[in-house]
Amino acid sequence: MNAVPSTARSTADLRPDVLPPQALNLSATERATGQFSPGNCELAAAILACRGYVILRDALEPDFAAALAREMDDIYQDCRTTHAVETGTSPDAAFKTQLSNRRNATFWYRKSRWRIFPRLEGAMGDPRLLANPFVVPILDRLLGDTFRCRYVSSDTCLAGAILQSPHSDIDGDEVYVNGTWKPRGFVVNVPVMECGLHNGPLEVWPGGSHLWDSNFLKPLGLVPNVQDGRNPPVERLAEYFPSVKVVLKPGEILIRDLAMWHRGTPNPTDQPRTMLTIGMFRADHEYGYGSPFYNLDETLYERLDPRIRRMFAYHFTSLKRARRGLGRLKRKLLGSSQTE
Ligand SMILES: O=C(O)CCC(=O)C(=O)O
């Protein structure tokens, strides 16, 4: 017999599938001082580690969130004016980039999705964005305080974009090292507008998919590496797992494990939906997508706040600078106009 009479059960008891809290609230003191309380920081890191993503509410001041939105809109309009060719979806398409006329943003456009790499100046180079006082302590904790930023980009989704296949943004080869989970990187998503259920939200498969490595998945016939195309085995399996369409408001920040299964969904509105997508990695993890070149040159790098510069220092070592100088000289001598 059931111990609790059914009449005594609340609606919540009858609906165990009601979503748990999505965002972690920062207290007024934390926001005013720009400092995480140790307990909240630990909790945020644990949510990210176990669930695969964490959302920080009010991590950006409204004025700054609005400045970011204006800046991104200007960059997007510049890319639209410049746009010439749509790249395909082949693996090497990620390297076919264009440069916007006025803002020098590197970008590509395919399948109604723009990927834009803004130059890190103005609001885009502001420490409140890239060295956010609530994001950095979590990354320090999980990736080590030598973590690196490998790209700053936008995910801009337009009407016409397809429902993607669930995918991981990283291979499943070294999820564990000597039997211990070792996160390789996280994406920091910063919405520059409301990214809600109405305009193509990011859909995520939380609570485990970021821990499924290739040794586990491959024998099951699962390779979650298709984005803008079909991947029947992965799509079929994902239907049997709860997913969440993430709602993000300006001022909030989402941090997600690169390995967590996720996908872009269609945007039925006539307005582009943009969130910034920033790749932060453990120092010893190479990643072949995006490049600090798209965001920075020597001058911009020198102008960065030291809290941000440390995330890009690996790209501006004397050796790397000397190699690039040599490359430039070679190209000049050979008369090539090709850039780095
Ligand atoms: O824009 C989004 O919502 C995410 C898109 C995505 O995951 C991708 O293009 O790989």
**278: three-class secondary structure by DSSP:** strand
For range 184-190, the mean pLDDT: 98
Cα separation of the two ends of the chain = 73
Residue 338 has pLDDT above 70, yes or no: no
Q: Which of 128-132, 148-152, 270-274, 323-327 has the lowest mean pLDDT?
A: 323-327
pLDDT in tens, 109-140: 998 999 999 999 999 999 999 999 999 999 99
Q: Is the CB of 153 under 6 A from ligand 1?
A: no
Q: Which amino acid is at 165?
A: S
Regarding predicted confidence, which is higher, 331 or 178? 178
Give the domains, in start order, of the chain with CATH numbers.
Answer: 21-73+126-331 (2.60.120.620)
Cα 263 to middle of ligand 1, angstroms: 6
Residue 305 has pLDDT above 80, yes or no: yes
pLDDT in tens, 257-277: 999 999 999 999 999 999 999
pLDDT of residue 253: 98
Cα 19 to middle of ligand 1, angstroms: 22
For range 139-154, the mean pLDDT: 98
Sign of CA dihedral 71, 73, 75, 78: negative
pLDDT of residue 5: 47
Radius of gyration in angstroms for the set of CA atoms belonging to the chain, rounded to a whole number: 21
Q: Which of 17-21, 228-232, 295-299 has the lowest mean pLDDT?
A: 17-21
Residue 136: how many other CB atoms lie within 10 Å: 20
Q: Produce one character per residue of 11-24: b if its CB has 16 or more CB atoms within 10 Å, e if not.
A: eeeeeeeeeeebbb
Residue 1 has pLDDT above 50, yes or no: no
Q: Is the CB of 262 under 6 A from ligand 1?
A: yes
pLDDT of residue 33: 96
Closest ligand 1 atom to residue 203 Cα is 3
pTM of the entire structure? 0.92
Q: Is the CB of 111 under 6 A from ligand 1?
A: no
Residue 197: how many other CB atoms lie within 10 Å: 11
Half-sphere exposure of 1 (CA within 13 A, CB side): 3
pLDDT of residue 333: 87
Distances from the Cα of 76 to the Cαs of 105, 146, 189, in angstroms? Answer: 9, 32, 17
Closest ligand 1 atom to residue 202 Cα is 3
Cα 202 to middle of ligand 1, angstroms: 7
Q: Is the CB of 158 under 6 A from ligand 1?
A: no
Residue having the nearest C-alpha atom to atom 6 of ligand 1: 264
Structure tokens at 243: 């997913």
Q: Is the CB of 157 under 6 A from ligand 1?
A: yes
pLDDT of residue 334: 85
What does the alpha-carbon distance between residue 205 and residue 210 come to, in Å, rounded to a whole number? Answer: 9
Structure tokens at 42: 């630990």
| Residue 95: pLDDT band with limits 50, 70, 90 | low
What does the alpha-carbon distance between residue 307 and residue 40 come to, in Å, rounded to a whole number? Answer: 22
pLDDT of residue 126: 98
